[in-house]
Amino acid sequence: MMHEHDPLLEQLSALPPLDTDVASAERLRRLARGELSRTTARSELGRRWSALWSSVLEPAMVAAVIVIYAGWGWSTTASLFHEGAPESVVERLSPRETCRTKYEPQGSFGERATEHSNERARCLKSGTLRARDA
Amino acid sequence: MERAPPQPDWLAGLKRGDGAIFDAVYARYRPGLFAYLARMSGRREVAEDLLQETWLRLARHAPSLAPGTDVGAWLFTVATNALRSQQRWRVVDLEKVRQALFVPKAEQATPFEALASTQAHRVLERGLAALSSSDREVMLLVGVEGLTPTEAAEVLGLRPETLRQRLSRARARLASQLESTESISALGGIR
């Protein structure tokens, strides 16, 4: 302690204690202890909710978002590649010679995908492109 | 007065809401906190209100106390902040008005002088009451409550070196106060 050799501080440490009356001290003890119990209970509830959220709910929600997004992407892609095209368009877009070369379509992604799908189907049908090449 | 020393499991017990440990902490620190607040505010009813605020704050924040928290220092910090907040909201600070008007403090007994058992204690209580708030809080924390300068610095939000300087100045002012009241003989020499 700092005031081991300081007479003034030693005098201060020897001052008589001040305190509340017994009834007030006991009332405050009960009040604060009750508040502590309530706070701890609320804290425990919060801790359990946090554990449930991090171990179950959050992974489940992430998985759900991934599944929904993947499903949407799959259905969109599938609809693009399985959309039927009029035969006249296939005929117009698919000269036999282009089946042996790399097809480089122009236009938007939707148009290119449709055209590429139709071209591949036509090439397979005509026998100029083997299935493994497609 | 010797009080039970702080126990290492108090923090963990408070965090999990252990009532028995809360009682032990309450018994250990309530008298010191009340004495500190009473001597700082100079009014028993204000000290009781602030004491209640301090303990309720502990009850509400116990689960979120950081590991390694010194419960005693934490309580005195909360009490100090509550006291400063209370003083800030007082419409008129009589001490500042008195200083501004160069009016000497009324020579009347503080409520705690009546409790002093000896003349020396009465003189000390009066000398403490005459100090400024910043001097008094340092003298009370280190001199009366027995906090180390490091603990007191933590409570008051100061660096330890700054606290030591402030303690030195406060001690000199208190000694001067006691000399000016010609009570040095009653204390048997304090320098």
Residues 11 through 50 of chain A touching chain B, CB cutoff 8 Å? 11-20, 24-25, 28-29, 31-33, 35-37, 39-41, 43
State the helix-helix crossing angle for B149-156 and B160-180, rounded to 10 degrees: 100
Mutate to test the interface with A, among B36, B55, B191 (most CBs of A within 10 A): B55
Please report the number of interchain residue pairs, chain A to chain B, with beta-carbon separation below 8 angstroms.
112
**What is the end-to-end Cα distance of chain A in Å, rounded?**
88
**Chain A residues within an 8 Å CB radius of B19:** 33, 36-37
Please identify every stretch of chain B with a pLDDT value under 50, giving residue numbers as ranges. Answer: 1, 189-191
- Cβ distance of A11 and B59 shorter than 8 Å: no
pLDDT tens digit sequence for A31-86: 999 999 998 888 778 878 877 888 888 889 999 999 999 999 888 888 777 655 44
CA distance B134 to chain A (A): 17
Q: What is the DSSP string of chain B?
A: ---PPP-TTHHHHHHTT-HHHHHHHHHHHHHHHHHHHHHHHS-HHHHHHHHHHHHHHHHHHGGGPPTT--HHHHHHHHHHHHHHHHHHT-SS-HHHHHHHTTPPPP----TTGGG-SSHHHHHHHHHHHHS-HHHHHHIIIIIIS---HHHHHHHHT--HHHHHHHHHHHHHHHHHHHHHTT-HHHHT---
| Residue B101 distance to chain A (closest CA, Å) | 31
Of B55, B125, B146, Cβ closest to residue A13: B146
Average pLDDT over residues A113-123: 66
Nearest to A119 by CA among A100, A108, A132: A100
Residues of B in contact with A16 (CB under 8 A): 115-117, 121
pLDDT computed for residue B116 by the predictor = 61
**Contact call for B51 and A39, based on CB within 8 A:** no
pLDDT digits (tens, 9 = 90+) for B152-181: 999 999 999 999 999 999 999 999 888 877
Chain B residues with beta carbon closer than 8 angstroms to that of A14: 121
First vs last C-alpha separation in chain B: 24
**Calpha distance A130→B13 (Å, rounded):** 76
Identify whether the C-beta of residue B34 lies closer than 8 Å to the C-beta of residue A20. Answer: yes
B9 or A104, greater pLDDT: B9
B1's tokens: 């007065």
ipTM exceeding the 0.90 mark: no
